[in-house]
Amino acid sequence: MTATVHPKRTGLRDGAIEVPDTPAGLIQTTGVGADETTSHRWFRILAAVTRISLGWIFLWAFLDKAFALGHGTGVDAETGATDYFGPAAWIHGGSPTEGFLTFGTKGPLADFYTGLAGNAIVDWLFMLALLGVGLALILGIGMRIAAVSGTALLVMMFTAVLPPDNNLFMDDHLIYALVLGMLVLAGAGRTLGFGRQWERLPLVREHSFLK
């Protein structure tokens, strides 16, 4: 037996489909689908490219310090020559933090950071943070942890040199930290990345902080 819907009683014309009332809170806008506007699509792509670019900044810093590739690590201060894969490389016993923490810090926290220079535990934490945040951003996975870890690292680097050289209080470290938060809120890992697949994993679905 089928029920007949009378247009006069429902206010619908012949052939129309009645949609039941849906609480507004149950409607989610994903930004992907038939109704996606051109601006939304380009925003997703721009956010993804920004995510990958920022991830490369972290990853390249790790690679340079690990292997002395000549972009700040392994360069002779007097001659400007680069000793690739030389003793300054982390893999050959060089400290990725000693130079900056010894000579580059200033301000009220300078003594604190100078005391950490060359500490093996600090070196490991610093390098793992660069590698982990860089890979997470490039792959689009673990964005929340990457954002928190990256922000903590960036804020520490900001407080190691106070005040900033080119501004009263703002510098690129704080800007990068703000961008990290924006990328998480934008769901940037789901475009040009593995964010969607990552979020479907049972462990990630059970623990939302892993998204």
Q: What ranges do the domains of the chain cover?
A: 51-210
- Burial class from Cβ neighbours inside 10 Å (0-12, 13-18, 19+) for residue 72 reads middle
Give residues with Cβ within 8 angstroms of 35, minimum separation 6: none
**How many whole angstroms from its chain centre is CA 157?**
16
Inter-CA distances, 39 with 8, 9, 31, 46, 187, Å: 41, 41, 10, 10, 16
What pLDDT score was predicted for residue 28? 41
The three-point CA angle 192-193-199 to 5° equals: 135
Nearest to residue 99, comparing CAs of 64, 128, 133? 64
Nearest to residue 55, comparing CAs of 199, 190, 157, 176? 176
SS3 of residue 106 by DSSP: strand
How do residues 49-84 score in pLDDT, each as one tens digit? 999 999 999 999 999 999 999 998 988 878 888 899
Residue 200 in this model has a pLDDT that exceeds 90: yes
Contacts 24+ apart (CB under 8 A), 84-88: none
The two structure tokens encoding residue 184: 């998480």
Binning pLDDT at 50, 70 and 90, where does residue 32 land? low
Buried b (16+ CB within 10 A) or exposed e, 124-140: eebbebbbbbbbbbbbb
| Angstrom distance (rounded) from CA 48 to CA 55 | 10
Residue 26 in this model has a pLDDT that exceeds 80: no
How do residues 92-103 score in pLDDT, each as one tens digit? 999 999 999 999
Mean pLDDT of the chain: 87
Residue 34 in this model has a pLDDT that exceeds 80: no
How do residues 128-144 score in pLDDT, each as one tens digit? 999 999 999 999 999 99
Give the global pTM.
Answer: 0.81
